[in-house]
Amino acid sequence: MTVLESLRADHAPALLAFERENRAYFAASIPDRGDDYFSGFDARHAELLAEQEAGTHHFHILADEAGAVLGRVNLVGVADGSAELGYRIAGRAAGRGLATWGVRKVCALASTEYGLTSLRAGTTVDNAGSRTVLARAGFVEAGAITLAGRPGLRFVRDPAGPGR
C-alpha cells in the first residue's frame, strides 16, 4: 500500500536513496539536479523543511509499506492562493497510476488544507506521460513555455475543480 505524507526530517535517508537510485532515470526527461544536490543533501533537506514550516512550499512523499520513497509531489512558490505543482516518480513505480493518484491527492490537499485557489504546472512537449498525468488530474493546457532550454507547455488547474 502506498501512502502520501508531508515531508519530515526522518524521511531524509529514504529520500536521498530515492534520488540517487533514480538520478539517471530522471535525467532522461528533466534537468539533472547536479552533484552539489547530493553532496549537500542534508543541509538542503533542512532548508526545505524550514520553507515548508514557513508555508512557502508544501512537500510530500509517496512511500511504500516499508518506507521506501516511490515519488514526490510538491507545491512550491505558494503565494496569493496559488502554487506550482511538481512531481517525480521512481522508475520502478512508473506506469502504474501512482503519479496520477499522488497528484490528485495533493490537488485535494491544496484546496482543503492549504487554501489554494489555483495551481500551475509545466512539462516539456516531449514528456507525454507527464502531460497525461496532468490531464487526468484536471489540469488544462495554458500556453507554451521554455523549460531548461526545451519547448514546454504550461498547465493550470483550480484545485477544487474536476479531476479530484
Q: How confident is the model at residue 29 (pLDDT cuts 50, 70, 90)?
A: confident
pTM for the full model?
Answer: 0.91
Instruction: State the alpha helices, DSSP H only, in the chain.
Output: 12-21, 23-27, 35-39, 41-54, 98-112, 128-136
> How far is Cα 37 from Cα 25, in angstroms, rounded to an integer?
16
In tens, the pLDDT along 112-158 reads: 999 999 999 999 898 899 999 999 999 999 999 998 888 999 999 97
148 versus 159: which is more confidently predicted?
148
Q: Tell me the one-letter amino acid at 103.
A: V
Which pLDDT does position 118 carry in this prediction?
Answer: 95
Reference 156, options 117, 127, 128; nearest CA is: 117
Task: Give domain limits for the chain.
Answer: 3-157
Which pLDDT does position 164 carry in this prediction?
Answer: 47
Average pLDDT, the chain: 92
On the question of pLDDT at 95 being above 50, the answer is yes
> How far is Cα 12 from Cα 46, in angstroms, rounded to an integer?
9
In tens, the pLDDT along 60-84 reads: 999 999 999 999 999 999 999 999 9
Q: How confident is the model at residue 159 (pLDDT cuts 50, 70, 90)?
A: low
Question: What would the CATH number be for the domain defined by 3-157?
Answer: 3.40.630.30
> How far is Cα 121 from Cα 138, in angstroms, rounded to an integer?
11
